[in-house]
Homo-oligomer: A and B are copies of this chain.
Amino acid sequence: MPGTESKHVKLGLFETPVLNVGGMTTWTHPENQTHRYADLSYWVETAQRLQDATFDFCFLADSYGHGEIGGARPDVNAREAMELPRLDPMLLVPAMAHAAQQLGFVVTASTVFEPPFANARRFSTLDHLTRGRVGWNVVTSSFAESASANFGRPMVPHDERYAMAEDHLLTTYAVLEGSWEDDAVLADKASRTYADPAKVHRVTRTGPYFSVDGYSNTAPSPQRTPVLFQAGTSEAGLGVGSRHAECVFLQGSTRARLAEHVTTLDRLAVEAGRAPGSVKTMVGLSVVVAPTREEAQRRYADYLALNTRESAIASYALFTGVDLGAFDPDAPFSGIRTEMGQSQVERHARSEGPGPTVGDVIEAHRTRGSRGMVAVGSPDDVVDEVLGLVDATGVDGFLLEPFVQPGSVVDVAEHVVPRLRAAGRFRTEYTEDTLRERMFGAGHRHLPADHPGAAARTWATA
């Protein structure tokens, strides 16, 4: 792909205060320290380690829900700490950000469950406290059925959730972009003028789901609106993503599909009136790297051996609602189409063998979980894979999904980061102050003029 060969790679860590990530049950690995998930020191150490390796940011996933099969939580979910226990990830950020004063933080929050005014105030607060290093991973809500029941609410249907997300975002922009002008705050004790009353505006917006009539509680933070992240490639999701997202997470299966997603997103964003390159893309990547290829493969096998058929069935049900354990393992999978199983079907189709059985899909989930791409090998193997992926697909970078913590990060920091730097493909130090500038270059602290959020700055065009 022309022009991308020397592109710098973006790196984030996919984390959250639970015992397992990636739909696998690796918490029992002797090197895994995720049992320290409720210890602030663990998170402070993680932030410092990522900052030492000049990662772009730490990404914190979230959900209020949990997996069920037939309306009940399977016993294996409690035994293997699947999804629960979980803490609120946003509350880790202030301590991590104070200890690591350059690292970025991307926090997940749901447009279904968080009221826009409160959510806007939280992200604005984080953006103030971190001096502009915060992103918001906008989700319509994962595990929506159990999360809704926890909130005592009926579940909002899938496509309507995206209409809510659109309305939520427009309300958020009204609050964070429309209320206080850039130079409203003077903070001048001598003249007794903290803010110029003429530059603090009442914002009034009535939407189909959300409304606001008042003033942002917060003065403008360095970025105002946090950098907007989004995941998901459903049609409705792509619509919201291409209009609003500044960075989209993709879970790739093949280079061809990943390249197609990258191209589609850019085209949709341009169709939505945004400049080419307005939407960065990052792909989930699980890395197992060791001094030798054999050592890496041995470790990878150790991780996979921790996942059982039972945990794979429960994990599959969490993401799809389908209980594969209720079917004959030898039955063809083709009758039970789910998005997650679909990639297995495609892989088999390409191999031109018979279609996969239910048992094949269970086994595939046991060894893959909800993870996307995996790079296993020596340092050179992994660096070749990482740069090859970027150069072949146009993706901007990677969200590292650890198998064990801190081990997976330590290994990447030791074996991969120095080689990317030596190749001129990764920063050696931080050069921008805010997360948005880190993503889009110096001077790009705020949403650009062609982003729908900019239209909320009515004071700028009045």
For A44, the chain B residues whose CB sits under 8 A away are: 98
Does A38 have its Cβ within 8 Å of any Cβ on chain B? Answer: yes
Q: A299 vs B35: C-alpha distance in the bound complex, in angstroms?
A: 52
For A424, the chain B residues whose CB sits under 8 A away are: none
Report if A150-B214 is in contact (Cβ < 8 Å); known contacts: A122-B91, A195-B78.
Answer: yes
Contact A118 B79, beta carbon cutoff 8 Å: no
Q: A180 vs B84: C-alpha distance in the bound complex, in angstroms?
A: 11
Does A454 have its Cβ within 8 Å of any Cβ on chain B? Answer: no
Q: How far is the CB of A64 from chain B (nearest CB, A)?
A: 6
For A99, the chain B residues whose CB sits under 8 A away are: 98
- Please pick, from B73, B81, B195, B202, the residue contacting A79 in the complex, using a CB distance under 8 A: B195
Does A426 have its Cβ within 8 Å of any Cβ on chain B? Answer: no
**Contact pattern, A 195-208, Cβ under 8 Å of B = 1, otherwise 0:** 11100101000100
For A98, the chain B residues whose CB sits under 8 A away are: 40-41, 44, 95, 98-99
For A370, the chain B residues whose CB sits under 8 A away are: none
Does A117 have its Cβ within 8 Å of any Cβ on chain B? Answer: yes
With an 8 Å Cβ cutoff, the count of chain A residues facing the other chain is 77
Does A52 have its Cβ within 8 Å of any Cβ on chain B? Answer: no
Q: A121 vs B85: C-alpha distance in the bound complex, in angstroms?
A: 11
Contact A113 B122, beta carbon cutoff 8 Å: no
Q: How far is the CB of A154 from chain B (nearest CB, A)?
A: 11
Contact A81 B202, beta carbon cutoff 8 Å: no
- Please pick, from B86, B152, B218, the residue contacting A218 in the complex, using a CB distance under 8 A: B86
Q: Which residue of B lies closest to A81 (CB)?
A: B194
Q: Which residues of A61-102 have CB atoms within 8 Å of chain B's CB atoms?
A: 64-66, 73, 75, 77-81, 84-88, 90-95, 97-99
Q: How far is the CB of A120 from chain B (nearest CB, A)?
A: 10
Q: How far is the CB of A35 from chain B (nearest CB, A)?
A: 6
Contact B129 A64, beta carbon cutoff 8 Å: no
Contact B64 A121, beta carbon cutoff 8 Å: yes
- Please pick, from B17, B94, B121, the residue contacting A95 in the complex, using a CB distance under 8 A: B94
Copies of this chain present in the complex amount to 2
Report if A118-B113 is in contact (Cβ < 8 Å); known contacts: A94-B92, A195-B81.
Answer: yes
- Please pick, from B93, B117, B194, B206, the residue contacting A27 in the complex, using a CB distance under 8 A: B194
Q: Which residues of A147-175 have CB atoms within 8 Å of chain B's CB atoms?
A: 149-152, 171
Contact B197 A79, beta carbon cutoff 8 Å: yes
Does A405 have its Cβ within 8 Å of any Cβ on chain B? Answer: no
Q: How far is the CB of A217 from chain B (nearest CB, A)?
A: 5
Could you tell me the dominant secondary structure of chain A's interface residues? Answer: mixed
Does A192 have its Cβ within 8 Å of any Cβ on chain B? Answer: yes
Q: A215 vs B118: C-alpha distance in the bound complex, in angstroms?
A: 24
Report if A88-B192 is in contact (Cβ < 8 Å); known contacts: A78-B197, A113-B115, A152-B213.
Answer: no
For A64, the chain B residues whose CB sits under 8 A away are: 117-118, 121, 217
Does A211 have its Cβ within 8 Å of any Cβ on chain B? Answer: yes
Q: Which residues of A177-203 have CB atoms within 8 Å of chain B's CB atoms?
A: 180, 184-185, 187, 189, 192-197, 200, 202
Contact A75 B197, beta carbon cutoff 8 Å: yes
Contact A125 B87, beta carbon cutoff 8 Å: yes
Contact A121 B195, beta carbon cutoff 8 Å: no
Q: A194 vs B77: C-alpha distance in the bound complex, in angstroms?
A: 9
Does A439 have its Cβ within 8 Å of any Cβ on chain B? Answer: no
Report if A19-B214 is in contact (Cβ < 8 Å); known contacts: A91-B122, A125-B91.
Answer: no
Does A219 have its Cβ within 8 Å of any Cβ on chain B? Answer: yes
- Please pick, from B19, B121, B126, B184, the residue contacting A194 in the complex, using a CB distance under 8 A: B19
Taking A84-B200, A118-B151 as known contacts, 5 extra A-B pairs with beta carbons closer than 8 A to each other, sorted by chain A number, are A27-B194, A66-B214, A77-B197, A78-B195, A87-B128
List 5 A-B pairs, minimum CB-CB distance, nearest first: A152-B211, A81-B194, A75-B197, A150-B214, A78-B197
> What are 11 inter-chain pairs, A to B, with CB distance below 8 A?
A38-B221, A40-B98, A64-B121, A65-B214, A73-B202, A80-B192, A85-B195, A90-B91, A118-B151, A152-B210, A152-B213
A residues with a Cβ closer than 8 A to B are 17, 19, 27-28, 30, 35, 38, 40-41, 44, 64-66, 73, 75, 77-81, 84-88, 90-95, 97-99, 113-115, 117-118, 121-122, 124-126, 128-129, 146, 149-152, 171, 180, 184-185, 187, 189, 192-197, 200, 202, 206, 210-219, 221
